[in-house]
């Protein structure tokens, strides 16, 4: 497997979606240096028409700086931003065919919901009848017509977020840019609003770039996710592929939970050990630590085959250290041959201090941070 950093350059028209169609957005080697350090480094990215791509990564990885260069609030030191093949790099934000929803929502507290949504149209001197039609259509789309005369302080955080979204959509942009749009909402509301955003985005077919540090948000809402590290795209993949087939240790750790071993995992019928090897880390996701609970060899083999393995892996004795409920599933902490492992399990749960049998499915090996292609897993 090729290294995770080998992202196809944007000059390759198949970089975004495998098709030769012109991308709706192309970032052609954009680079930005701020405060004496490189924040975004020669970044290439194609986004297909109607696609929702999320820039995911920790604080300081360059994702928001990248979005601000797309919006025009920052100019790249080099490289180009192209929309539908047109170079918009020199243009200021108001001249670009994009609209941005900010993390803070940036609503005017003294204006009604209607006037907040209408604000960019007033700046553009859109005639009154057309302005009213477009604002009412945008408010109807986000379900806020009944709040048209309310002020932001009188509506909930989720409703404020939808006002900000309506204000972006009323401009009829070619690109919708979302900067951490759900970070100010509580967990329950985040799920509801992200589903609303995705439904509206798909209904309109609007090309969208979203920035977040929340892996669950990125995996649940995106067509593709670009995981960023140190100003570069570490991996660009559909959500399921990103989770199941991370190309680097960084991506594997950032997207999902991991059990890790410092070295190469050695599994035999008589036990489990780790062979120390410089630069080598073996990782197993908690859902791939399968608790067999004394199942027959035949049932265990069926579980392994269902996981896609080509041959049965050894089973190991384990002691249950702790069971931590997480609603629909539980995290079972295990001691396996002196190694502390976490397993995700739903349904019947083993008792604390009980003895169980486990099998490790799909171990991933990383050498110097890059994924090693397994010959048999």
Q: How confident is the model at residue 374 (pLDDT cuts 50, 70, 90)?
A: low
Q: What is the mean pLDDT of residues 75-84?
A: 97
pLDDT at 149: 94
88 plus 217 within the same structural domain: yes
Q: Give the mean pLDDT of the chain.
A: 87
57 plus 187 within the same structural domain: yes
241 plus 307 within the same structural domain: no
Q: What is the mean pLDDT of residues 348-373?
A: 92
37 plus 72 within the same structural domain: yes
278 plus 237 within the same structural domain: no
Residue whose C-alpha is closest to residue 64's, from 46, 88, 84, 39: 39
pLDDT at 13: 33
79 plus 182 within the same structural domain: yes
236 plus 274 within the same structural domain: no
Tally of domains in the chain: 2
For residue 54, pLDDT beyond 50: yes
Q: How far is CA 334 from CA 31, 259, 297, 300, 364, in A?
A: 46, 11, 21, 19, 19
Residue ending a domain, among 254, 270, 294, is: 254
339-345/264-268 β-pairing: unpaired
363 plus 264 within the same structural domain: yes
pTM of the model: 0.84
77 versus 347: the higher-pLDDT residue is 77
Q: What is the mean pLDDT of residues 40-63?
A: 97
Residue ending a domain, among 221, 254, 287, is: 254
Q: What is the mean pLDDT of residues 257-277?
A: 88
27-41, 139-153, 287-301: the lowest-pLDDT one: 287-301
Q: What is the domain range of residue 263?
A: 259-372
At 168-225, the pLDDT tens digits run 999 999 999 999 988 878 888 888 888 989 999 999 999 999 999 999 999 999 999 9
202 plus 266 within the same structural domain: no
Q: Is residue 10 part of a domain?
A: no
pLDDT at 306: 56
CATH number (domain holding residue 296): 2.40.50.140
194 plus 267 within the same structural domain: no
At 312-342, the pLDDT tens digits run 678 899 999 999 998 889 999 999 989 999 9
221 plus 312 within the same structural domain: no
304 plus 365 within the same structural domain: yes
For residue 3, pLDDT beyond 60: no
Residue ending a domain, among 186, 220, 254, is: 254
Token reading at 297: 């060899």
**Within 13 Å and on the Cβ side, how many CA atoms surround 52?**
23
Residue whose C-alpha is closest to residue 34's, from 72, 75, 67: 75
First to last CA, the chain: 15
Q: Is residue 134 part of a domain?
A: no
For residue 309, pLDDT beyond 80: no
Q: Strand (E) positions, 276-354? A: 280-284, 289-291, 315-325, 330-336, 339-345
Three-class DSSP category at 319: strand
Q: Is residue 153 part of a domain?
A: no
For residue 377, pLDDT beyond 90: no
3-state SS of 30-41? EEEEECCEEEEE
């Amino acid at each position: 497997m090729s290294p995770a950093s080998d992202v196809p350059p944007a000059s390759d028209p198949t970089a975004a979606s495998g098709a030769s169609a012109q991308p709706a957005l192309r970032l052609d080697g954009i680079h930005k240096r701020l405060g004496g350090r490189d924040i975004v480094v020669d970044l290439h990215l194609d986004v297909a028409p109607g696609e929702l791509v999320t820039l995911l990564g920790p604080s300081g990885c360059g994702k928001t700086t990248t979005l601000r260069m797309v919006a025009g609030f920052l100019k790249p030191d080099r490289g180009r931003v192209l929309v539908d093949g047109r170079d918009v790099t020199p243009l200021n934000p108001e001249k670009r065919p994009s609209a941005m929803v900010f993390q803070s929502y940036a609503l005017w507290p003294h204006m009604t919901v209607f006037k907040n949504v209408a604000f960019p149209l007033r700046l553009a001197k859109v005639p009154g009848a057309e302005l009213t039609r477009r604002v009412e259509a945008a408010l109807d789309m986000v379900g806020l017509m009944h709040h048209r005369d309310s002020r932001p302080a009188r509506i909930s955080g989720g409703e404020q977020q939808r006002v900000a979204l309506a204000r972006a959509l009323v401009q009829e942009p070619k690109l919708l840019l979302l900067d951490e749009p759900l970070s100010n909402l509580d967990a329950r509301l985040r799920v509801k609003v992200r589903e609303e955003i995705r439904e509206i985005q798909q209904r309109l077919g609007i090309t969208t770039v979203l920035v977040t540090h929340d892996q669950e948000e990125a995996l649940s809402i995106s067509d593709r996710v670009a995981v960023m590290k140190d100003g570069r795209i570490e991996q660009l993949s559909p959500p399921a592929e990103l989770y199941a087939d991370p190309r680097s240790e960084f991506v594997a750790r950032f997207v999902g939970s991991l059990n890790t071993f410092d070295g190469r995992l050695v599994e035999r019928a008589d036990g489990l050990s780790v062979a120390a090897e410089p630069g080598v880390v073996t990782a197993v996701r908690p859902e791939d630590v399968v608790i067999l609970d004394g199942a027959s060899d035949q049932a265990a083999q069926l579980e392994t085959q269902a996981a896609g393995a080509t041959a049965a892996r050894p089973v190991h004795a384990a002691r249950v250290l702790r069971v931590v409920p997480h609603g629909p599933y539980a995290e079972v902490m295990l001691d396996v041959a002196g190694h502390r492992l976490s397993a995700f399990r739903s349904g019947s749960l083993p008792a604390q201090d009980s003895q169980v049998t486990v099998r490790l499915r799909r171990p991933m090996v990383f050498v110097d941070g890059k994924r090693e292609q397994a010959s048999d897993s």
